[in-house]
Amino acid sequence: MTRRLILGCGSVGRAVVEAVASWPGELDAVVADRGRTDALRDDTVDAVLGDPADPSNYPDAVDVVFVAGNDPEANLAAARSARDAFQSALVVAHVPVAASDETRAAVESVADRVVDARSVLATRALDVASDETTERMARLLRALRGVDGRLAVVAHDNPDPDAIASALALVRIAASVGVAADACHFGDISHQENRALVNLLDIELRTLSDPGEIDEYDAVALVDHSRPGVNDGLDPGTDVAIVIDHHPPRVPITAEFVDLRSDVGATSTLLTEYLERLGIEPDRVLATALLFGIRVDTKDFTREVSDTDYEAAAFLLGHADAATLNRVEAPSMNAEVLDTLGRAVRNRDVRGTTLVTGVGEIRDRDVLAQAADRLLEMDGVRLSLVYGFADGTVYVSGRARGTDIDLGETLRDALGAIGSAGGHADMAGAQVPLGILEDVADGSKEQLARVVDDVIKGRFFETLESGPRTLVREPDTKLAREYSQEESG
Ligand SMILES: [Mn+2]
């Protein structure tokens, strides 16, 4: 049981609390601000109102201390007290942007780890996430290794692509630890698209017709649903070893291993994360099925889609068979758009609510507008800018929503001098001749992509940081017309 103590609570402390509150272990906090204290108590943290640097406010023993206030000097004082009070604890201290070099150095001398707001925030957030993910991986493998015999991975009745793909993926993960498993379901695969998926990919599924058939197995796992006997043909009293699902449960779920995350769009996303983190390379059939599962459940990335779904899709793209996907249905999103979107997600540079990304060489510049649209759906993104190059020109496409930035005018400021740019406040584009950039790149495609990155991304962020155009000015109507034509697709 890890005992954690938070000292001070600025925006960083708040983020830490939100991440840590769900972890097993104890969480205490000492905060000088009454409003913050009350907010923490709402989060069921044991929060004391008082001076974070006063040891009399501390619990008897802790394993990890997060110093997480907004004030550099107060954090230094708290870090010193914590170091004195808990010799063997891990002291992690946040150094706010405003800290002087002197204070920064002083904090570094007492804390075991320093989180420097100027550079490390994003990285630390990822570390925190990966700790949780790593622990989950370990628990799943433990549950699988505990299976003595053959495992039935049961999808819900009349399984959809998400359920089918998830079952296949769990069978694959089980095999990686030497446990034999079958992907099973009750009912029919009735939907034409789902049958096409199974037939085209030659997917092996066992159709169960009698609840008694499950007795041939030594353990049961459920995917894309969470209760035996509810939306499957199992006896409601069936012992379940593993549940992996993205639907919010109506009742508490009992199983040895439960992974229920309703903040992702598909169970296939969860299974993809396992494959990726466990270093299991999905074969063509599995990757294609998982990608299809994510697409169907998120209605082609338009419904309940999260960053995790995009990350999973980006990973699967490298392994999936786009041609087969295209044959399963006539998708609204073709393979090239999906591929461009994958590159856009992988290469993204997010600063605040702005996402800028380069996709390298493109064949069809329409894909940029579609990618910019989709990226705007990512969590916390209010402005997206996507660029790629073709036929000696860099094409740039941007979208904005819920911000007061005039994107068309801002793009003109950023790129007007080296090309043509403009458009609406919420939908804009630019074209920059590659000309001189190509000379700099010296014939190498990779080098060219880097030079384009430097110029487009560099100029755009620079313009944003130095004061972007806001919606006060009327956009140039002539340019707006010009660009709205190519941006309408
Ligand atoms: Mn699903």
pLDDT at 128: 54
Tokens of 6: 């938070």
Single-letter amino acid code for the residue at 290: L
pLDDT at 304: 78
Nearest to 32 by CA among 71, 88, 2, 63: 71
pLDDT at 130: 67
Cα 269 to ligand 1 centre (Å):
9
Cα 217 to ligand 1 centre (Å):
24
CA atoms lying within 13 Å on the CB side of residue 223:
31
Cα 267 to ligand 1 centre (Å):
5
pLDDT at 394: 94
pLDDT at 435: 84
Angle (CA) 302-303-305 rounded to 5° is 85
pLDDT at 317: 85
> What are 236-286's pLDDT values in tens digits?
999 999 999 999 888 889 899 999 999 999 999 999 999 998 889 999 999
pLDDT at 126: 58
CA atoms lying within 13 Å on the CB side of residue 183:
23
Asked if 342 contacts 314 with a C-beta cutoff of 8 angstroms, the reply is: yes
Task: Give the chain's residues under pLDDT 50.
Answer: 331-332, 473-489
E-assigned strand segments in 251-341: 257-260
Cα 7 to ligand 1 centre (Å):
41
Asked if 86 contacts 61 with a C-beta cutoff of 8 angstroms, the reply is: yes
Cα 294 to ligand 1 centre (Å):
8
What's CA 20's distance to the chain center, in Å?
18
